[in-house]
């Protein structure tokens, strides 16, 4: 993989409060990353119009990360609206269950890719037990992720979102599922609220197709330089692997 291909696989989340800041980041990082992610904060503030604005300004691919988690018909209809917006990637939560995932996959057909969110990178075993999962089930988060990945595959979804800790097991079991990995932290960046983290090189070597990297870039003194550093670390990691 060369530098250009690696950049295409970096997703920058526009986790900012408004359109002005979002478009400033799009201009600042133009050509350095392949995908811009619009998540709950920006979408709640600006609505669907922000998707059109980011698309127009960047020409990059758009990942709408609203993590739909609802009954099948509601998910199906919401996916249809995302299709109207012409986004490239969209998240649905695994806990919505097989019927909702299937409905999402069918509604997305031919237009966008559905990514199934598995176990959030901010969650520890204790957090998972607190929401009612058994100690046995959370002993191996990989197993839990694999169950959700299997559901994604069976339902006809295109990929999953998981931490770098689980990605190699997912790739081994389901080589055709796209893997999107957040919770990515270069050795020089702070961990913030992420728990199950890995460096960009570790995540890429483990088999991540896309890396979501926000604050390590956003909080860097020179964000474009930070992306370049990340890309060269990934390149080096892949060459050495």
First to last CA, the chain: 12
* Whether 229 is catalytic: no
67 assigned binding-site residue: yes
Site string for ligand OMP, 83-122 (x = CB under 6 A): --------x-------------------------x--xx-
Per the CB < 8 A criterion, the answer to whether 177 and 207 are in contact is no
CB 185 to ligand OMP: min, Å:
8
71 assigned binding-site residue: yes
* Whether 127 is catalytic: no
Selecting among 2, 65, 113, 236, the annotated active-site residue is: 65
2 assigned binding-site residue: no
Q: Which two tokens stand for residue 118?
A: 């598995």
* Whether 113 is catalytic: no
Please tell me whether residue 13 binds ligand OMP under the rule CB under 6 A: yes
Selecting among 4, 7, 18, 67, the annotated active-site residue is: 67
Please tell me whether residue 214 binds ligand OMP under the rule CB under 6 A: yes
Exactly one of 6, 16, 34, 65 binds ligand OMP (CB under 6 A); which one? Answer: 65
Site string for ligand OMP, 169-198 (x = CB under 6 A): -------------xx--------x-x----
Exactly one of 149, 213, 227, 234 binds ligand OMP (CB under 6 A); which one? Answer: 213
Per the CB < 8 A criterion, the answer to whether 91 and 161 are in contact is yes
Q: Residues comprising the binding site for substrate?
A: 15, 37, 65-74, 121, 185, 194, 214-215
């Amino acid at each position: 993989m060369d530098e250009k291909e690696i950049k295409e696989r970096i997703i920058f989340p526009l986790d900012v409060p408004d359109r002005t800041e979002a478009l400033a980041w799009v201009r600042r990082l133009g050509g350095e990353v392949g995908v811009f992610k619009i998540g709950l904060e920006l979408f709640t503030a600006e609505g669907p119009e922000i998707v059109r604005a980011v698309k127009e300004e960047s020409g990059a691919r758009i990942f709408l990360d609203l993590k739909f988690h609802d009954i099948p018909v509601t998910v199906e209809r919401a996916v249809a609206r995302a299709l109207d917006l012409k986004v490239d990637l969209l998240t649905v939560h695994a806990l919505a269950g097989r019927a909702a995932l299937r409905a999402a996959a069918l509604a997305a057909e031919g237009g966008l890719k559905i990514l199934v969110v598995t176990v959030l990178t901010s969650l520890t075993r204790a957090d998972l037990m607190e929401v009612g999962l058994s100690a046995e089930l959370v002993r191996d988060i990989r197993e839990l992720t694999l169950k959700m990945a299997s559901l994604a595959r069976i339902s006809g979804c295109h990929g999953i979102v998981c931490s770098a800790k689980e990605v190699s097991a997912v790739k081994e079991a389901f080589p055709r599922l796209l893997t999107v990995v957040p919770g990515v932290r270069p050795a020089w960046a702070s961990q913030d609220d992420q728990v199950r983290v890995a460096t960009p090189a570790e995540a890429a070597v483990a088999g991540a197709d896309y890396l979501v990297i926000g604050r390590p870039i956003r909080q860097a003194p020179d964000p474009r330089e930070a992306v370049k550093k990340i890309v060269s670390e990934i390149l080096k990691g892949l060459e050495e692997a």
